[in-house]
Structure 1
Amino acid sequence: MQQTSSRQTSRQSILVGVSTKMYLGYRDSLAWLEQLRNEVDARPALAAGRVVPFVIPSFPVLPAAARLLEGSPLLLGAQNCGWADGSWTGEVAPSMLAELGVRLVEIGHAERRRHFGEDDAMVALKTRAADDAGLTPLLCVGETKAGEPAAAADRVYRQIASAVDGDWNRAGRLVVAYEPVWAIGAAEPAAAPYVSDVVRALRGRLATAGVPGLPIIYGGSAKPGLLPTLEGVSGLFLGRFAHNPANFGRVLDEALLLAGAGAGVGAGVEDGGIDRMGLMDRTG
C-alpha cells in the first residue's frame, strides 16, 4: 500500500456508516432500514463504489436486514461479536454473523469498554476472531479526554497495535473508527482542525508500521456538514443524527461530491481496497 497525501482522493472510496445502537425497536428498525435503502437507491452513483455506505442495526434485526438490503450497495454490519464458538452464553460468534450476510463488525466501542469491562485483551481476541471469520473488524478507538493531538494520536496508535497484537498484516484488513470518547453523545463533534491533526499524526505513526493507508473514519456526534471540513479521514461513522434517513442521504451527497471532485477528504480507501478490507467479497 502506498501512502496518500492529505488532499489526495483520486481513485479512492469514502466510507459512510451508521449504527442504531439500541435506540430503535424491531419494527421501527425495519421501517428505518427501508428508508435508508431508499436513500441509497436514490443515488445510483453509489454503485460505482467510490462511496461505500454501511449500516449497523441491533442483533435481532440482522436476518431481516440482510434480506431487505439484498442487491443494495448498503453493506450490513453488527455491533459486537464474541471471540470463540462454543460455551459462551449470550454471545454471538463471528462465523454466525458471516452466515447471516454481515460484512463488518464493530469492536471495542467506548460504551462496551466502559460499561461492560471490555479491555484491550478482549478487543484483541474479538479482532482476531472477526478477521478469521472473514469479517472486517471496525475497530473503535479514541482518547478519553481532549488534549494535544499528538498525545491523542499516540493513544490511538497503541490501541490499534494492541488490537492486532502487533500483527500489522492483520491491521491492513481493519477499518478504524476514530471516536474521541469525550465527543460521543456531545452536542457537537470534535473540532475539525483537531480531528485532522490527530489523523495526520496517526498516519505518520502508521506509516512506520507499514500501513499508512489504513482506512480511518471519524465518529463522535458526526453529522451533515462535517465531512467536507476534515482532512486525512476516510469517511464518517454516524450515530443519532442519521436516525433521520434524510441526514444519511445528505452525508452520502457530500461524500459523492468529494469523491468526484478529488478534493477535501484525504485518505479514503484505495480502489480495490474495498476487496482488501473484505467489505465486498470475503464472505462470498
Structure 2
Amino acid sequence: MLTATSAPALTVGVSLKMYFGHARTIAWARAVADIAREHPAVTSGAVDLFVAPTFPSLVPVHEVLAGTRVHLGAQDLATADEGAFTGEVSGAELHEIGCDLVEIGHAERRSLFGEDDRVVADKVQAAFRNHLTPLICVGEPSRASSADAIADVTGQLDRSVDGAVAAGIAGPVVVAYEPVWAIGAPEPAPDAFIVDVLAGIAAHVAARPELAGSRVIYGGSAGPGLLTRGAGGIRGLFLGRFAHDPAAIRTILDEAAALGEAAAPEVAP
C-alpha cells in the first residue's frame, strides 16, 4: 500500500491494459526493473514508479521487480473478498501476492462493462479492506470549462470514497484525472486546462482529512514534456501506450529528475 508518509515529489505509473502477451510483459518488466535499479529519480525516492500488468502476469512481474522500488498494481478487483464469483480476482488475493495498489473506475470499465458509481464505490471499499491503495480514475465525458470539469470529477471522487469514509476504512488514494474526451483524441487536453483541473482536485482532496496523503496525477494521453510544461502543477503521470517502450519510461524519469534538480534550493559554499 502506498502510504501518506512515503509520498514522493512525483508519482509515475503505467497500465499495460491488454496490449501485451505474457512473455512480452515479463521482458518489459525486466527492462523496467533494470531502469529502476539505477535511475536516481527512483533510487532516491523522488519518484514513485508503479506498473499494472494483466492478472496472469502479476506474480512473475512481482518476482522480476524484487529489489527495486517499483510498486505493483492490478488493473481491477472484485467487490467481494471471497466466494462463488467465477472469473473474478479478490483484493485479498491481490494483497497476498504483493500488490500495493489497484486501478478502479477507469472509463473503459464504465463504458465496456457497465460499471457505475455503486460498483466503483464497492471496489474502493474492497481495496481499503485489503490494504491496497485505490487508484481512482475520474474524468468528465465531454469538454467543458475547467470549473465545470472540477465539479464533475470531484463529484465522481466523492461518490467513490464516501462509502469507505462512512465505514471508517478510508485513507490515502491516488486520483488519476483522465478527461474522457481527450483519450485517444487527435489533440490532447491543453496544458493550462490540465493544471487548473489537477489543482482543483488537489484542493478538494486536501479539504477531506480522511484522504490525507493522497496524490493526484494526470493520465489523459500523457507523454514526455508534460511535466516540464506543467511547471510544477502536474505532480505525476499515468502512462499508457507511450510507455510500451521501456526507454520512454527512462525519458519521463529523466524529465522528473531534471525538474527535481531545478527545484532544489542552492546550498551556500
Identical-pair percentage: 47
1:127, 1:112 → 2: CA distance? 14
Aligned to 2:149: 152
| C-alpha contact (below 8 Å) 1:164/1:170 kept by paired residues | no
Q: Is the 8 A contact 1:204 1:212 kept in 2?
A: no
1:139 maps to which of 121, 136, 141: 136
Instruction: Pick 1 or 2: higher relative contact order, CA cutoff 8 A, min separation 6.
Output: 1
What's the TM-score once normalised by structure 2's chain length? 0.88
Taking the aligned partners of 1:212 and 1:41, their CA distance within structure 2 comes to 29
The alignment partner of 2:51 has SS state of strand
Secondary structure of 1:252 counterpart: helix
Equivalent residue for 1:107? 104
Q: CA deviation at 1:160?
A: 0.9
Give matches, 1:132-281, under 5 Å: 132-165=129-162, 167=165, 172-210=171-209, 214-230=214-230, 231-262=232-263
- Structure 2 residue runs without a partner (length 5+): 1-6, 265-269
C-alpha distance 132-154 of structure 1, shift in aligned 2 (>3 A) = same
Closer, same or farther in 2 for the Cα pair 1:118/1:235, shift >3 Å?
same
Match of 1:271 in 2: none
Work out whether residues 22 and 58 of structure 1, in 8 Å CA contact, stay in contact via their aligned partners in 2: yes
Q: Which runs of 5+ in 1 are unaligned?
A: 1-10, 264-284
Alignment-derived partner of residue 74 in structure 1: 70
Q: Provide the aligned C-alpha RMSD in A.
A: 1.9
Residue 188 (structure 1) shift: 4.2
Check whether the contact 2:172–2:212 (CA below 8 A) recurs between aligned residues. Answer: no
Length, aligned pairs only = 253
- Identify the match of residue 22 of structure 1 among 13, 18, 23: 18
| 1: CA distance, partners of 2:8 / 2:58 | 29
What is aligned with 1:65?
61
Query: Aligned partners of 1:45, 1:203: CA distance in 2, in Å?
Result: 23
Tell me if structure 1 keeps the 8 A contact 2:8–2:45.
no
**After superposition, where does 1:108-123 map in structure 2 within 5 Å?**
108-123=105-120
Deviation sequence 1:219-256 (CA, Å, 0-9, x none): 01111111112243320000000101111111011112
Instruction: Note the alpha carbon deviations across 1:61-109, whole angstroms, 9 max, x for none.
Output: 1110010001111111000000112111111000101111111100000
